Structure 1
Amino acid sequence: MTEDFYKSLGGTRNPDPLVEQIKALQYDLNSEYNAGLDVDGIAGQATMAALKGVQNIIVKGHKSYVVLWVQQKLQGYSYLKEGSYTPMVYDESTFQAVTNLQKNWGRPTDGVLRIETWGVYF
């Protein structure tokens, strides 16, 4: 159903939080890494290719809104506590949270944000 359909009924549909989160990630990938993605909220092939393209860029010390997105997801999953990390910076706390997530989900525990790790977020 489209948003216009819901508006015609006099209401609005509550947006899907995951779709909105993916849109934010796509926007960040476009603005920071020129990914050229459609901001559609779908973690499809193009989005996954863009994430694969930045996996070797996002290392300790890297600063970006994509890192902030990861930190917010880690916080939501209780791997990272508010105030324990530097927002937007892939710091030691964020690295440890990523490796803990990877371990718990049976992914390689190297702190690299590769496709296998991104799959946990979607």
Structure 2
Amino acid sequence: MIIEDYYAQLDGATPLAGLDLVEPDVEFLIALPGREITGSGRADLEAYIAGRPAVGRRHRVVSRGTDGDVEMIYGIITEGDGRGTGSFSSVALVSPDKRLARYQAFFHPTFGMFPLPTGGAA
């Protein structure tokens, strides 16, 4: 899944490599508690990714699904110590070139479908 590969790149040593998986005119919404980040184009997404603090977080996908050109994932954000800090869901529209054309992500620190891990292995 392209959206899952994108998050794996974000969590890797070179987060900006995820830009290779998006269309040049990608549109996105990242909804965080009390804040929404929107953008259009790779430059906007690059600015968001570059501005994120390096904290060792990981997107651990728990569930995934596809329906034609739409991909959906649900997961838990974990810190380096394995402690869960919240849940996320993301939906992406995949282009004919197999890149993200549009995506929206929602994060919540307390409400989730599954209990958050309290620590240990990530």
Q: TM-score normalized by structure 1?
A: 0.27
Larger radius of gyration between Structure 1 and Structure 2: 1
Q: Of Structure 1 and Structure 2, which has the larger fraction of its residues in helix?
A: 1
Q: Of Structure 1 and Structure 2, which has the larger fraction of its residues in strand?
A: 2
Higher relative contact order (Cα pairs below 8 Å, separated by 6+ residues): 2
